[in-house]
Chains A and B, each alone.
Chain A
Amino acid sequence: MYGGDEVSAIVVDLGFHTCKAGYAGEDAPKAVFPSEVGSIDQMEVDDTDKSDKNSGSALDSKSKGKRKLYVGSQDMGFRRDHMEVLSPIKDGIVVDWDMVENIWDHALSSYKLNIIYLTCYGAISVPPPNIKLKILLTGRKCLLIDPKEHPMLLAEPCFNTQLQREKSAEIMFEKYQVPALFLAKNAVLTSFASGRATSLVVDSGGGSTTVAPVHDGYVLQKAVATSPVGGEFLTDCLLKSLEHKGLPIKPRYAFKRKEIRPGEFQVVDLDFPNTTESYKLYSQRVIVGDIKECVCRVPDTPYDETSYSNIPMTPYELPDGQTIEIGADRFKIPDVLFNPSLVQTIPGMENSLETLSFVRGLPQMVIESINKCDVDIRRELFSSILLAGGTASMQQLKERLEKDLLEETPQAARVKVLASGNATERRFRVPLVYYNCNRFRLMLETNLSVNTAFGSVGAYWHLLVPSSKCGSPSLSEFSCLSPHALLLQIYIYSRFINLYAVVMTGMKSMELLISNANAPNMLSCSTY
């Protein structure tokens, strides 16, 4: 499909739960692995540390570099003593860049050939060559690419801050030395992927649920609504609920399953006293997450205890061979999305949403978000509500949301909820096709011209398109210029000067604004 002259871009979407990476132009990501990272402190492990598994502040106090990080499904699937499971993302914002670097390393990985010479000493019957050359490709586990050769597209959450974007750009340019970088809001990518420039994107992912209106390819920042109820939260609800019913979930590492006779298995419990709580929870979540995906279904009407008390049970076979039956929870857990106050009835989760009064159900979030938008586009938003993210691919969610919205929307609004027909596509909210679209292409071209114009100066440059009409601080600096889609903002960074170049592609002219007083006197460039 792709011509030989095209260098395909790499797309990376670091979500709360999973990190997705792949080549632009393909339908599904090449690499999908957990965003959570296993960490072992290289110093003496003291037990008080263990309780802080979820608090971001604990991370900062730890001396970095003194710990060993494990990334990827395989590394995470293997139990290690004292390995804590930590997440680099908190409330949708990256709190630990060290981990993010490790995750990116794992996803892309640089060409690092560690050539290890192993000398073999006898003990092998066949005489081997006395020096064996073994090439270890460190870290080259996923995409196996050299980031220097590929333009990079990073998907970022709608509420990403300027600081976050700068930091990701810094790492991408300085560490990976990517030739071009684009940060795109994931809601915009979702919207484009369904062929719409205007839509309301309901993104229910692992860590949170975000409702973001997109208009003409821009996120309307002020109308974005978020709630902490995401897939992970539902998984925890289900886990607690099962535990309360006397069905503890045994993590996979905690037992061994042996086939004593054909078709007959024996489970031997294993005891690892040095396993951390967070790793145990992680392993349990893997199992419960699967239970959730297999049996849970959004109820057609709001859940209530009495009418669901005698619905048929659905069996699920746990990894240890034990079969559990799940009844009302099948419907109750997903309904938390629509009615968050339901968590108060789940034992062990009562206090999990301290700010419960601020958390609204999905339909309310949608309506609230649309009502914050301009009157003229509300109608269009109502008729193109797009579902994205893993949790949104839950069975019957689309139908229920449509039904609830129809009941609550004013008069003549046509409500239409759209979901990608393909569940895999929906899960990986950001399809990997963005590179070819105009704006990114344009940027790459612009990029080259800038490079020649400032061959000597432009050591690093950041390309960032202001992706929000409102709320993007960088845009306001150029408020004299029309905040139009084609206004590209190029940040040129170098060690000595900081200059902003504004390229008006329509007029084919370039204006340089020197933001740093120390900068040498470099002005308008006519070569473009």
Chain B
Amino acid sequence: MAVHDDCKLRFLELKAKRTHRFIVFRIEEKQKQVIVEKVGEPDQNYEDFTASLPPNECRYAVYDFDYVTAENCQKSRIFFIAWSPDTARVRSKMIYASSKDRFKREMDGIQVELQATDPTEMDLDVIKSRLSK
């Protein structure tokens, strides 16, 4: 599985320039490569992000989560989310799960990783509970 250069570029922009809030990636099965499906503007929030994940298909996604710590300090964490809902086709679940490792290696700078099969596994509470790590 190849990773399109665009993926790396966008991710670098998210990480360094912070010009995106989130990026949603998709595997293009015919070309056998990962491509960028959607990019989120910096002013978009977590709801916009979850809404951009299709309910019946697998995706990879990166989200830049801003928060304020107890010491009142502005911080951010980059989340990697492997989204594979139960209702997705087994075939695509297999492809996404087995290509994840390779893809993640291209994304240098991911701080927290989540795998989610339904929205409750990646709601804000879960995200927040993973921040402390």
Contact = CB atoms under 8 A, between A and B. Distances in A.
Contacts of B91: 25, 27, 433, 436
Contacts of B117: 194-196, 384, 418
Contacts of B82: 195-197
A314 B96 CA distance: 44
B101 A485 contact: yes
Contacts of B121: 383, 416
A437 interface: yes
Contacts of B93: 192-195
B99 interface: yes
A195 B84 contact: yes
Nearest 4 A-B pairs (CB), nearest first? A195-B84, A437-B98, A195-B93, A192-B97
A29 to B, nearest CB: 12
Main secondary structure of the interface of B (DSSP, over half): helix
A87 interface: no
A195 B115 contact: yes
B124 interface: no
B90 interface: yes
A437 B90 contact: no
A430 to B, nearest CB: 10
A191 B96 CA distance: 12
A84 to B, nearest CB: 38
B67 to A, nearest CB: 20
A394 to B, nearest CB: 19
A298 to B, nearest CB: 21
Nearest to B101: A485
A49 interface: no
A421 B56 CA distance: 13
Interface string A369-407: 000000000001001100000000000000000000000
Contacts of A42: none
A334 interface: no
Contacts of A439: 98
Nearest to A196: B115
A438 interface: yes
Contacts of A486: 102
A217 interface: yes
Nearest to A486: B102
Contacts of B100: 197
A383 B113 CA distance: 14
B131 interface: no
A434 B86 CA distance: 17
A436 B95 contact: yes
Nearest to A28: B90
A329 interface: no
Given A195-B84, A197-B115, A425 B97 contact: no
Nearest to B91: A433
B110 to A, nearest CB: 14
B127 interface: no
A193 B96 CA distance: 9
Given A194-B84, A195-B88, A217 B98 contact: yes
Contacts of B98: 192, 197, 217, 434, 437-439
A194 B96 CA distance: 10
Interface in B1-50: 1
B61 interface: no
A196 B84 contact: yes
Given A195-B82, A438-B1, A433 B101 contact: no
Chain A, interface residues (CB within 8 Å), range: 20 to 34
A478 to B, nearest CB: 19
Contacts of A433: 90-91, 94-95
A437 B90 CA distance: 12
Given A197-B115, A416-B121, A438-B99, A421 B94 contact: no
Interface string A342-385: 00000000000000000000000000000000000000100110
Contacts of B1: 438, 441
Nearest to B1: A438
B53 interface: no
A468 interface: no
Contacts of A191: 97
A192 B117 CA distance: 12
A19 B106 CA distance: 39
B58 interface: yes
A25 B91 CA distance: 6
A388 to B, nearest CB: 13
A174 interface: no
A431 interface: yes
23 contacts: A27-B90, A192-B98, A193-B93, A195-B85, A195-B96, A195-B117, A196-B117, A216-B101, A217-B98, A421-B86, A421-B87, A425-B90, A433-B90, A434-B94, A436-B91, A436-B95, A437-B97, A438-B1, A438-B99, A438-B102, A439-B98, A441-B1, A485-B101
Contacts of A193: 90, 93-94, 97
Contacts of A217: 97-98, 101
A35 interface: no
Nearest to A216: B101
Interface string A436-467: 11110100000000000000000000000000
A421 B58 CA distance: 16
A436 B100 CA distance: 14
A284 interface: no
A486 B117 CA distance: 26
Nearest to A380: B115
A454 B7 CA distance: 37
A241 interface: no
Given A383-B121, A384-B115, A416-B121, A196 B94 contact: no
A384, A425, A433, A438: most-surrounded residue (chain B CB, <10 A): A438
A198 interface: yes
